Amino acid sequence: MKDISLALENLNEVFPPHFTEAQIAKAKTLFLKRLSGDAHRFYKGKTQVISKAPVIGFNWFNVWYTPGVSTVSTTIRDNNNSSFELTNRGNLVAVVSDSTRVLGDGDCTPSGGLGVMEGKAFLMKYLGGVDAIALCIDSKDENGKNDPDKIIQFVKMCQHSFGAINLEDISQPNCFKVLDVLREECDIPVWHDDAQGTACVTLAGLINSLKLAGKKIGDVKIVLFGAGASNTTIARLLITDGADPAKMTMFDTKGSLHKNREDIKADARFYRKWELCQTTNPNCIMTMDEAMEGADVLISLSTPGPETIKREWVRKMGEKSIVFACANPVPEIYPYAAKEEGAYIVATGRGDFPNQVNNSIGFPGILKGALMVRARKITDNMAIAAAHSLADYAEKRGINVENIVPNMEEASVFPHESADVAMQAIKDGVARCPMTWEEAFQKSKKDIEYSRGLTKSLMDNGFIEKPPIEMIKAALQWAIEQVQ
């Protein structure tokens, strides 16, 4: 076994040379999952609360708490908006989930989602300079069914403590109602990252993929495999940005969506899917084999597993085809397999493969932009503006078939994205604190540098320990043994 760095760089090179690409892909998945469990246990999670005000002497406790803090309470009482200036509310996001659809693992019970929600908060702080807290809740009613109204009530009750709400891992169809109601009835932005965030970054990836393929979004034939919150929102944003719904076919677990799907029409909870039944697939294409014939784009957010998307489907696609297989933690088809069947560009949701199309490059900048101008909501236009911001940033620094969007290491993308989102919020009339693009960019840049500098300082001074190399090597050795 070759040596492996603490940064886990060049992961493909640490596996035995006789491993096939399929074995390497499987071993990487096993290694990362084993290491994740061990590392979370070692650190007892990923986030903590840390003070940002000084304690110079004993009397400062009387300033930060009673009796001095009384003036903060009465000032906010008389003007609730002052809470954004006198407390951390203006830069604080609640990551709210009932954990009913956690990644590809389904219902994990409320506390089962904490690892993901903490991860969201972790990324928000480091990448976007935004503070966040995980709130996993029980949405079951007296009959044991998950009730969207419980989530709605919870968010409306706690919104006064936060500058924005990030909804996460809520199963459909509840996720549609929860988002649509809260977007209209809350006085702060409510964002569903599985839907809007994934759609934003997918659109960004597709914009640049089409540039490389020499195709236009209005001309291409698009197949969407999976009809959950992510893909239904992706379809909506693609259409809004110029895709032709008549050239779009979507599939759920029962088949293609079309105007004759009476089962979807009869269930009012699936109104988002019914909208797509009425606007896409006018010829009522019924099978994937037919839909994939000559298709330009496949976007799959479905069941994890390397054989969910069949090789023969990819083989049927047109020239310079684009395949996004974005299920987590395992893509529906591995990139090497899609490439072997003729795909020109392949993207997944994972960072250990080229072209990670993952909402991690979207939500930190989008939420930061919304918070800076104190937006009342995050509009679809703001999500589309973020997509074009990401695509433009990547194009300016150079794109190719294995590098279509920025990655999380490109720190400078987030201030650009947040400033562009802030400007769109102002244009859409949902901002309460207008500012210039340069002001937004500089504020975002400063906050992100602060967050990264804080983490580095804690690491340099030993307050955050380095992960034991033995733990990493043990996880790697275990993964290799499982595959051999």
Per-residue pLDDT of the chain (484 residues; tens, 9 = 90+): 455 565 566 777 788 889 998 898 889 889 999 999 999 999 999 999 999 999 999 999 999 999 999 999 999 999 999 999 999 999 999 999 999 999 878 899 999 999 999 999 999 999 999 999 999 999 999 999 999 999 999 999 999 999 999 999 999 899 999 999 999 999 999 999 988 999 999 999 999 999 999 999 999 999 999 999 899 999 999 999 999 999 999 999 999 999 999 999 999 999 999 999 999 999 999 999 999 999 999 999 998 888 899 999 999 999 999 999 999 888 999 999 999 999 999 999 988 899 999 899 999 999 999 999 999 999 999 999 999 999 999 999 999 999 999 999 999 999 999 999 999 999 999 999 999 999 999 999 999 999 999 999 999 999 999 999 999 999 999 999 999 8
Exposure on the CB side of residue 275, measured as CA atoms within 13 A: 10
Identify the helix (H) or strand (E) that includes residue 139.
none
Domain assignment present for 216: yes
What is the residue whose two structure tokens read 């609730």? 80
Strand 190-192 and strand 248-252: pairing? unpaired
Cα–Cα dist 285/308, whole Å: 20
Exposure on the CB side of residue 475, measured as CA atoms within 13 A: 21
- Residue pair 196/383 in contact (Cβ under 8 Å)? The answer is yes
pLDDT of residue 328: 83
- Residue pair 421/366 in contact (Cβ under 8 Å)? The answer is yes
Domain assignment present for 329: yes
pLDDT of residue 194: 85
136: left (phi over 0), alpha (psi -120 to 50) or beta: beta
Q: Minimal CA–CA distance to 443: which of 32, 90, 89, 151?
A: 90
Domain assignment present for 75: no
Q: Minimal CA–CA distance to 424: which of 158, 200, 178?
A: 200
pLDDT of residue 132: 98
Domain assignment present for 305: yes
Domain assignment present for 78: no
Amino acid at 15: F
Positions marked catalytic = 65, 120
- Residue pair 10/436 in contact (Cβ under 8 Å)? The answer is no
CB crowding 169-200: b at 16 or more within 10 Å, else e: bbbbbbbbbbbebbbeebebbbbbbbbbbbbb
pLDDT of residue 4: 59
Burial class (CB in 10 A: 0-12, 13-18, 19+), 306: middle
| Intra-chain end-to-end CA distance of the chain, in Å | 13
Domain assignment present for 117: no
Number of domains, the chain: 1
Strand 190-192 and strand 222-225: pairing? unpaired
Q: Minimal CA–CA distance to 308: which of 330, 285, 291, 287?
A: 330
Cα–Cα dist 273/224, whole Å: 12
pLDDT of residue 407: 92
Cβ count within 10 A of residue 85: 11
pLDDT of residue 196: 92
Cα–Cα dist 358/482, whole Å: 28
- Residue pair 27/19 in contact (Cβ under 8 Å)? The answer is yes
pLDDT of residue 100: 95
For residue 211, give the CATH number of its domain. 3.40.50.720
Q: Which domain holds residue 220?
A: 196-348
Domain assignment present for 50: no
Domain assignment present for 331: yes
Q: Name the CA dihedral angle for 305, 307, 308, 309, rounded to a multiple of 10 degrees.
A: 130
pLDDT of residue 7: 55
